[in-house]
Structure 1
């Protein structure tokens, strides 16, 4: 049985991964933005532990963890939470850039820094759920894509830095997935949302678990997942 810390476990891909690991009786540590959300997650996943830390303010994560008791070892840290705000470069304001970079890039970097000792101890696994936008940027997606391109760079650098410590690093690049975040994205785009057109979160969860369960003689570095219909 492994010990796993998950961000974004409340819905979408994060919830699908948490359900699968919970069903396997793995030990779960779920990051919540506040105490109320932590209570909801604890009810959703009986027996799971919660930690409170807001990814919107990564500069406060160290202080928050200093007042809690994170696990002593971690077999994986699964960075799944994220935010998206669409807009033309000529119209996207500084606060929008900062919100996306903070939650999608700086917070995963800081969370990783804080938890690397536990990952090294277990020779654990970092999984960054990126996006197709982390490989190709389109009009109105500059802020989000920039944060996800940066997340790819973070993962690539970490992979080289931590290889000697036995820590594996995987980036997963899902295409459009049927999640509440996708519904919000369609609303921003002014498009009708049809969940049946997009990837089921369970399918992305399967790819993440495939990377986690791979024997120690191999490592999946980058994995793209695209809608099959």
Structure 2
């Protein structure tokens, strides 16, 4: 997959790749950036991703985040990439005593290993663009509660990846931000609340559009500033 005539269509705009683009935060971000960024929208494919691409003028990128060995082939010929927003993620709640290696392997693969490999492969072009990596982390990446072991471990590791990358790439002009949202009104949160045996009340959580606006600010911030770590919590009710 490559952008159509990227030299002509993208010369004045940054090219931003978003993973998990058809999810709540990802689709909100795509809509927030439409018109000002060329968009490469990553996902598992299907009607939702195609519809979003048609709506915002984005270019679909079908990725299986459990198979990082396929990424190089998928990204071949991609062209310019200025920014990468690592937004895709999975969660499966459960006590350490109850979750077997398959849950841990899957969670770490999608939430940590896939972002690491995508970063490695996309880093040369992001360096050329002096662009930005945004890692959509979680409050669980700062504090691990009971029942959240596998997910929190993957997000702690994602923080380590971002911190190391920031130190390594500062001299190359690459900016790296970790975003730590609290509970957000998405389908993932609906699943979490179901696993917790609790009611899903979206009005009590952060609106995905709020996080999209936050990420857009990070991407568009003047070059004299790097926003390294941002924690966003639901406002008072």
Aligned to 1:110: 117
Change (3 A) 1:136 1:152: same
Residue number in structure 2 paired with 1:61: 71
What is the CA–CA distance in structure 2 between the aligned matches of 1:194 and 1:36, rounded to whole Å?
A: 27
Q: 1:44, 1:185 → 2: CA distance?
A: 29
Match of 2:54 in 1: 43
SS of the aligned residue for 1:30 comes to strand
- Normalised to the residue count of structure 1, the TM-score between the two structures is 0.93
How many residues matched? 224
Q: Which moved more, 1:107-116 or 1:35-44?
A: 35-44
Match of 2:6 in 1: none
Structure 2 runs not aligned, ≥5 long: 1-12
Output the CA distance in 2 between the equivalents of 1:20 and 1:40: 16
Residue by residue, what CA displacement relative to the aligned partner does 1:27-58 show, whole Å, maximum 9, x if unpaired?
0011122466653443343x211222111222
Q: 2:4 matched to which residue of 1?
A: none
1:31 lines up with 2:42 in the alignment: yes
Q: What pairs up with 1:1-229 in 2 under 5 angstroms? A: 1-22=13-34, 24-34=35-45, 38-45=49-56, 47-66=57-76, 69-70=77-78, 72-229=79-236
RMSD, aligned α-carbons: 1.4
Matches of 1:40 and 1:57, distance apart in 2 = 25
Aligned residues of 1:53 and 1:65 also touching (Cα < 8 A): no
Distance 2:225 2:75 in 1: 32
Decide which moves more: 49-58 or 152-161. Answer: 49-58
Structure 1: stretches of 5+ with no match in the other structure: none
TM-score normalised over the length of structure 2 = 0.90
The alignment partner of 1:111 has SS state of: helix
* Residue aligned with 2:127, SS: helix
The whole-number CA distance in structure 2 between the counterparts of 1:37 and 1:58 is 23
**SS at structure 2 position matched to 1:101:** helix
Deviation, structure 1 residue 75: 1.9
